[in-house]
Amino acid sequence: MSTIILGIESSCDDTSAAIIKDGYLLSNVVASQAVHESYGGVVPELASRAHQQNIVPVVNEAMKRANITKEELSAVAFTRGPGLMGSLLVGVSFAKGFARSLGIPMIDVNHLTGHVLANFIKVEGEESVHPKFPFLCLLVSGGNSQIILVKAYNDMEILGQTIDDAAGEAIDKCSKVMGLGYPGGPIIDRLARQGNPKAFTFSKPHIPGLDYSFSGLKTSFLYSLRDWMKDDPDFIEHHKEDLAASLENTVVEILMDKLRKAAKKYNIKEVAVAGGVSANTGLRNAFYDHAKRFGWQVYIPKFGYTTDNAAMIAITGYYKFLDNDFCPMEAPAYSRVTLE
């Protein structure tokens, strides 16, 4: 008998549902929320309201595209945290009601585990290679910057993480300082392709071990701009491509320096990336460059599986289903929870 998992993701500002059948992705529907753009960041109250409007049509569409009826489902996997509480509650409550009405088990998924296991999403007819255990995963998103040692689907250890801002958060904040739109990541990426990554230098953190820090870079960017704008009030407009390229280059160098250190320390050459910032062109190029220079096997999920999506929740749910790892009906959502 087939194992068919419905995955539900609602941790921030994307409502998503996906179907995985026997490890293969059949559908992945994502409804993003444009409502936040004019506020320059996610407004939690608006996010949970939009999730409420989106969740039923998104789940229906995922089942329709997968050509699956609800009676065929084996389990419902849902993001339990971390995330915005009001957003999480919509997905968690929907999953509970749906699973109970069908009499099928529920599987709680850590959003961060989902990002890591996005590297294992398979689509019938598409060639895909997946990391071999143990591997390192650089998880970089709007809320996290972590180096993770992945020993098995259900066994992960955080080797290092940001002590302040996340990489995506720093990029978004710098982009806001430049007066660009939200989220800044994709805009900085686009501008950076036309700029010189060595045009400007920003300060890099000096912290021991495998931890990251990005708040100093943000401050350095802000103060540098303030100084340059004293001489040229239109400095940003005149240099936006070079500013974007130099900012991106600094973030990528900070990320890769520690990742190289981890790869050396743990003698691992299987290296994956996950999270929204892994969509970044400069970071992807740095991975390919490291593959050539250091003989790494690198794994970069398809673009659509790097930002928040339910395919990653469904694949994680699938592996947990195989382990009979279910959760009770009273399981609450967690706004804060670590990978371990």
| Contacting residues toward ligand KG4, per CB under 6 A | 12, 141-143, 168, 171-172, 183-186, 189, 275-277, 279-280, 307-308
DSSP state letter for 132: P
Min dist. Cβ of residue 193 to ligand KG4 (A): 10
Question: Strand 4-9 to strand 14-21: parallel, antiparallel, or no bridges (unpaired)?
Answer: antiparallel
- If the CB atoms of residues 75 and 156 are measured against ligand KG4, the closer one turns out to be 156
Question: Sheet harboring 75-81: ordered strands across?
Answer: 24-32, 14-21, 4-9, 75-81, 106-110
21, 75 in Cβ contact below 8 A? no
Report the alpha-carbon distance of residue 149 to residue 158 in Å, rounded. 6
Min dist. Cβ of residue 231 to ligand KG4 (A): 29
Amino acid making up residue 330: E
Backbone angles phi, psi at 267, to 5 degrees: 50, 50
- If the CB atoms of residues 73 and 92 are measured against ligand KG4, the closer one turns out to be 92
Task: Indicate if the alpha-carbon torsion angle 89, 308, 13, 30 is positive or negative.
Answer: negative
Min dist. Cβ of residue 82 to ligand KG4 (A): 9
Min dist. Cβ of residue 78 to ligand KG4 (A): 16
Structure tokens at 150: 């992945």
- If the CB atoms of residues 20 and 255 are measured against ligand KG4, the closer one turns out to be 255
C-alpha R_g of the chain: 20
22, 90 in Cβ contact below 8 A? no
Nearest to 34 by CA among 53, 49, 14: 14
Min dist. Cβ of residue 112 to ligand KG4 (A): 9
- If the CB atoms of residues 23 and 186 are measured against ligand KG4, the closer one turns out to be 186
Min dist. Cβ of residue 143 to ligand KG4 (A): 4
Report the alpha-carbon distance of residue 322 to residue 107 in Å, rounded. 11
- If the CB atoms of residues 99 and 166 are measured against ligand KG4, the closer one turns out to be 166
- If the CB atoms of residues 18 and 279 are measured against ligand KG4, the closer one turns out to be 279
Determine the residue with CB nearest ligand KG4: 276
